[in-house]
Every structure is written in structure tokens, then in C-alpha cells.
Structure 1
Amino acid sequence: MSRFTVTPLPLSGLNRIERQRLGDDRGYLTRIFCAQDLASIGWKKPIAQINHTYTAKRGTVRGLHFQYPPHTEMKLVNCLRGEVWDVAVDLRVGSPTFLQWHAEVLSAENGAALLIPEGFAHGFQALTDDVELLYCHSAPYHPEVEGGGHVCDPRLGITWPMPITVLSDRDNAFALLTDDFKGIEV
């Protein structure tokens, strides 16, 4: 019996996952990851890495991050504290939704997660102070194949829900996509 409700989103392979909470007057238990339940929507590899992030200030944007082959990765992004506007951008070569983006609100309150397929860039904006995210990755981090897109790239046209108040020097240094960017092979 799955403890997830899966909602396919407009970009092929991108899914919203709602976690069932089993609770009583003590609190609740919720499953973050289940390989068996997520296999039917594309998670075929073991978890290679789990990361926890903390973002202090509302309006902060992190991203848009991805890895090139041979280390492309799926991500399952869960919000444990606060609320974010979580964005996935399709960078897959030949995809009918190439360079399109989709965003979902993830929060500790709504218990939703985003399952992001290989070949997508990922970023988010903190909608509250003191945000914590937990990421499950299907591949370990390899800095030599790291890529990124600029969060304000006009070619992507992402409409962030609030003014960007904090952006790291690293994320701000990502170049705009050029016309010769053909995407990522997955």
C-alpha cells in the first residue's frame, strides 16, 4: 500500500508527491522515500546521497542546479520547515517541453515533495524565513560536471513570486543560456 499520492505535472516525468501522514495525539509519521512506490514513476536507482539545506531569509533563491552526463540525477525534494516555491526546468535534449519550467509550493504544512527527473535543473525561492529542505539524490555530487542556469535568464522567463533578496555569488555567476545550448542527454 503506497503512502504517496502522485500527481503528474505538465512536464513529462515531473511529479508532485503528497505524503500520507499517519498520526494521533502524539504526532505523526510520514514516509519520505520508498523505492518500491516511486519505481512506477521513474525512480530506478538507489539513493546515492541525501542532503539537508537551511535557508535563513525569505526571498532567497537557490539554483538553478543540475549535473551533466554521466552523472545526471533524479531528485526528491521535501520541505521539512517553512515554505518554498520549488522550480524544475526541463533541459532534456529533444523534449517537447525543452526549456519550460514548472513550480510547486512545498511546505512543512502541506507535506508535498517534488520528484524531479534526470535532465532537469532545480531551484527554489524561500517564501518564509528559516526553511529546511531534505533532498534525496540518485547520483552523488560531482563538481566537475556541475551545471547551472541563471535564475533571471530571459530565455527561461521564470516569474519568481517575490523579489529576490539573496542570491549567492556562485548562482549569480551562472551564464545565460546561449542559442547553441541544445540540452542534456539522458
Structure 2
Amino acid sequence: YFKLQDQKVKNENLKALGAALASSGAVALYQVENITPEYKNMDIENAEETITITKEDIEDTKAKLSTSNEVPDLVCLGCPHASLEEIKDLAAIVEGKKIRNELWICTSVNIKAAAERMGYLKAIEEAGGHIVCDTCMVVAPIEDLGYKVIGVNSAKAANYVPNMGGIDVVYDEAENLIQFE
């Protein structure tokens, strides 16, 4: 059972939390106060554990999971796969700019097709980014491509990347990872 300081939670935040919990331990199910539908049916008084997550907790976790302070040469977003809303937000960040580091956004083929119809793919590609389909940075042979530092906005990815052939990771928000010319 979780309490979040900021009750303005997007589905993407819940997806990221669930992925991080699953990759870092044996958490199969979680409830969030006033957010997840099942919360109202919980016996909170007898909850096995209650955790309150603050903004400071999130910043501390970013620092603990980062193995480098360097600017990432590759930014990999979409672990788990990026939603159309996430791609829309990323297109807005990069639109009309030129990306200095590499940018890969992982998603499904269906979401990429929707992003193309909506014009998000064009904005990302014109900035120098790429949307890759039906794969993940964790299974891609990134260590063979010469990258030394990967920037991720996912605790799940930050858990896995350091075990990929000596590659360092920077865990932060996308807008802090993507560098522009």
C-alpha cells in the first residue's frame, strides 16, 4: 500500500512504479491511496506495509541508481514501452531542436504507427531521435555499439543497464537527459 505526496498521478507513473517494483523485488501487486481502483476495498488498518513516497525519495532513488554523472551518449526511453502520451510529451520536448546525444524511444509497432499519424514521429526524427519497435534496451546489444553511458527515465532500466557489459547509467527525467546542439 502506497501513499503518494503528489496526488496528480498519470497512468504512465503507475506503469513505471509497477515496472520498478517488479524489477527490484518480489512485489506482485500494489495499491495507491485514492488512485488505484481497488484502494477503496482495502483494509488499511491491517495493511502489511504502508510506504509514503515523497519527491525527496524519488530524487534519492535517482542518485542511488545512477552510476555516472556524465552526459549520456545514448538516451533510451520506453522501459516499459512508451505510451502514445509519453511520445507526445517527448515530441514536444525535441520539436524544432537538434539532439546532440542519441535518442531511442522503445514502443510497440501500433503505438509507433499512431505516433506517425499524429506527427510525433516526424518531430522526433527531424530532431535526430528514433522510435524503435517491439524491443527493449535491455535485450538490444548496446554494449557492442560503443556506448559508455546510457540515460534512462525508468527505475526498471536503471536496475538492468549497469549489468550490460560495463555500461554506466544516468537515471533522470527525459528533459534532463536529452542534450541539444
TM bin, normalised by shorter chain, reads under 0.3
TM-score in terms of structure 2 length:
0.28
Which one has the largest radius of gyration?
2
- Alignment TM-score, normalising by the size of structure 1: 0.27
